[in-house]
Amino acid sequence: MKTPLLIEQHFHGCFGVDFNKASVDDVLLLSKEIFKYGIGGIFPTLVTDSVENIKKAISVIKSASKRQSDAMAKILGIHLEGIFINEKKKGIHNPEHFLKPNVDNYRLVEDDFIKIITLAPELDDGLVDYLISKDVKVQAGHCVSGDLTGCAGTTHTFNAMEGVSHRGKSTAMSALIYDNLYSEIIADGVHVSDDALRLFFKCKPVDKVILVSDCLPCTKSDLKEFIFADETIYYDGKKATSNDGTLAGSTKLLPDIIKRLNSVGMFNPQYIENPYNYHNLEQFGSIEWDKNWNIINVYQG
């Protein structure tokens, strides 16, 4: 079977590289290595950090995008996950760096290379409308609100958001029942149980599912202990957590997640095409898979 190349819109690094701290050469190395796994397009994702560090990371990623060659995953823009989220659902993010979601604060880091922003809609102070006017995709995440007006999608659905409730609104409930929303899901077998995945795939239109890894620098590396989001993270070979047990992100790449989903009967090839539609991208390159969704060959466009 052949499919388009994979698009990864939410990941913080791999091969020992952390996008918040990477050099241009680090980003180029990552984009070259990840292409071998069938990932043809990436949105490097920045975790909450100081304004100064975020601006520096954006500059590095933009510079790397201008130096890319063939057989590298195309850097398609930046996913800014942090800063404008709710402390009640902070996850691994450091609340010392949180800012009110308004235009003045956004302008502290604003750049035309930012294509996706995860924020808490309940804290919005005019930023959502501004982002829409700039054609930036707004995703609800690390939040509690069930009112997702203005949002194009939801970030790692179920994780770091108000869960499904039979009374009132919640973020996860809105993600499941509103068919216009694209919804990310981390289907690594750690972040979301298989029963919750079945609920998600049963509720969401097949063309609105966005598989993401949310993977960390330790993915495909020898790292067992590292600093991420100002926390020491420990990787035990299955999951990566802080000292108090908070999940910091995934440790699997998208092709590993796809293979796992197929093994439990929950994978649909349409999921691979959805990010192209979400971001209005033309397909480039392809992957040849065997019947068990192992990659046989990766082809450039």
Instruction: Compute and round to an integer the Cα radius of gyration of the chain.
Output: 18
Predicted model pTM? 0.97
Tell me how far apart the alpha carbons of residues 106 and 118 are, in angstroms, rounded to a whole number.
12
Residue 211, domain CATH = 3.20.20.140
Residue span of the structural domain in which 169 resides:
2-299
What is the pLDDT at residue 148?
Answer: 98
Tell me how far apart the alpha carbons of residues 65 and 27 are, in angstroms, rounded to a whole number.
9
What are the structure tokens assigned to 104, written together?
């003045």
Closest CA to 289 of 72, 31, 38: 38
Q: Hey, is 133 helix, strand or coil?
A: helix
What is the pLDDT at residue 165?
Answer: 87
Q: Side chain identity at 132, as an amino acid letter?
A: I
Distance, first Cα to last Cα, the chain: 17
Tell me how far apart the alpha carbons of residues 115 and 45 are, in angstroms, rounded to a whole number.
10
Is-contact 224 234, C-beta < 8 A? yes
Give the ranges where 117-191 is alpha helix by DSSP (H).
127-133, 171-177
Per-residue pLDDT tens, the chain, 301 aa: give them.
999 999 999 999 999 999 999 999 999 999 999 999 999 999 999 999 999 999 999 999 999 999 999 999 999 999 999 899 999 999 999 999 999 999 999 999 999 999 999 999 999 999 999 999 999 999 999 999 999 999 999 999 999 999 998 999 999 999 999 999 999 999 999 999 999 999 999 999 999 999 999 999 999 999 999 999 999 999 999 999 999 999 999 999 999 999 999 999 999 999 999 999 999 999 999 999 999 999 999 999 8
Q: How many domains does the chain have?
A: 1
Is-contact 12 233, C-beta < 8 A? no
